[in-house]
């Protein structure tokens, strides 16, 4: 199992300039290799990453002598990254590689495991020396590599470590999750996680900072200061959102063995011009992605329920469907006289969470066992055999 630990760096001003130069060289080599790949491909040749690397090294001292002044891996790794990118493109797994812009792309470069050394709260980088880290490496294992990136004028290092496979502890509890905009997540247990809407909260400051940026003269120092302020605001919003999502998904993965979620069509939802910003702010796709990454590591499984399953319109007690239900109806009232919840007001999302859990258990063949066995307790937890 490979895990990565992202740590903030505290370089000196000279070290920060060297890191920026290394990232610039990596971007230049990527663009050169991509242009040469396209030229050779159009000429009917079959370019590869290794051929391009040998071709670049042959003319490097004469045409690009300044690339020797930075870290060696900064100019070597882009060829391998480009080869992987084209492999994924030809297999239909990704888009065609594009040129990297100095203004729009994130500065970064890669270090192989023999190109750096990790100490206590510090990182040794060739030609830079020891660079201070905000914290020490959290994982103990074989270090595979590291990638140094810059976000909002702050430098970070992401260190990949190979860890031994852990034997997960199976958990019998199951839960269904209904995600949305009014509430980020509503569990079948009745727990509600509010949508913090960090972007909406900081939108006024962000607009003021953007206005200040566009009023500054291009190329001036004041414009650079304004650009950094906008970048810091965006980074703060991302950090707040990630903090909530990481803590929530970790707690759910540690508590439940089976988690049912809706398989939302997020690209289609983002096409709604009235709700696109709200859906992006909630980051529902990241929530599901984190669950899919963390739950299997802890011995559980994530079951995706079909997006067309009427979880909100169906009564979880009897299966009666409210066909005329709209988004404004936040309270679900069953009209089936034989239902134990007949005319009993239920929270719409809580009812949907029960239905998502029921459908997830049915998809994996545990619904009959769960219903005829212990079923759910008074808190809404289902006890099932996950073995």
Question: Which residues carry out catalysis?
Answer: 178, 262, 349
- Residue listed under structure tokens 């414009």: 223
Look up residue 83 and give its two tokens. Answer: 């080869």
Q: Enter the DSSP assignment of 333.
A: E
Helix (H, G, I), strand (E, B), or coil: what is residue 133?
strand
Q: How far is residue 320 CA from its own chain's centroid?
A: 37
Q: Give bridge partners of residue 130 from the DSSP assignment.
A: 124
On the 0-12 / 13-18 / 19+ scale of CB atoms within 10 A, 143 is middle
Exposure of 261 in the CB half-sphere (CA atoms within 13 A): 24
User: Phi and psi for 72 in degrees, rounded to 5?
Assistant: -60, -45
Helix (H, G, I), strand (E, B), or coil: what is residue 130?
strand
Q: How far apart are CA 4 and CA 145, in angstroms?
A: 10
Q: Give bridge partners of residue 331 from the DSSP assignment.
A: 347
């Amino acid at each position: 199992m490979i895990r990565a630990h992202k740590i903030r760096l505290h370089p000196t001003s000279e070290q920060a300039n060297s890191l920026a130069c290394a990232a610039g060289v990596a971007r230049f080599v990527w663009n050169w290799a991509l242009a040469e790949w396209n030229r050779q491909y159009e000429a009917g040749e079959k370019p590869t990453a290794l051929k391009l690397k040998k071709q670049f090294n042959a003319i490097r001292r004469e045409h690009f002598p300044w690339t020797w002044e930075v870290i060696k891996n900064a100019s070597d790794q882009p060829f391998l990254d480009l080869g992987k990118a084209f492999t994924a493109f030809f297999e239909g797994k990704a888009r065609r590689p594009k040129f990297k812009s100095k203004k729009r792309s994130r500065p970064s470069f890669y270090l192989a495991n023999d190109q750096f050394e990790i100490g206590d709260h510090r990182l040794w980088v060739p030609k830079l020396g020891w660079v201070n880290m905000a914290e020490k490496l959290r994982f103990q294992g074989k270090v595979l590599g590291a990638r140094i990136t810059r976000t909002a004028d702050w430098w970070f290092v992401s260190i990949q470590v190979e860890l031994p496979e852990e034997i997960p502890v199976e958990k019998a509890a199951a839960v269904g999750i209904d995600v949305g905009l009014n509430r980020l997540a509503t569990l079948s247990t009745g727990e509600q996680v509010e949508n913090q809407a960090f972007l909406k909260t900081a939108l006024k400051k962000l607009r003021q900072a953007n206005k200040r940026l566009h009023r500054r003269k291009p190329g001036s120092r004041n414009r650079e200061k304004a650009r950094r302020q906008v970048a810091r605001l965006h980074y703060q919003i991302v950090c707040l959102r990630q903090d909530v999502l990481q803590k929530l998904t970790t707690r759910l993965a540690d508590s439940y063995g089976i988690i049912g979620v809706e398989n939302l069509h997020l690209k289609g939802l983002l096409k709604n011009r009235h709700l696109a910003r709200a859906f992006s702010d909630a980051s529902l796709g990241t929530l599901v992605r984190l669950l899919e990454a963390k739950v299997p590591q802890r011995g559980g499984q994530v079951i995706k329920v079909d997006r067309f399953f009427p979880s909100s319109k169906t009564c979880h007690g009897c299966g009666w469907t409210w066909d005329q239900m709209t988004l404004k109806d936040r309270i679900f009232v069953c009209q089936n006289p034989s239902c134990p919840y007949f005319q009993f007001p239920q929270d719409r999302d809580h009812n949907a969470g029960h239905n998502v859990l029921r459908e997830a258990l049915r998809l994996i063949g545990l619904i009959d066992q769960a219903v005829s066995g212990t079923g759910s307790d008074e808190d809404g937890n289902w006890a099932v055999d996950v073995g």
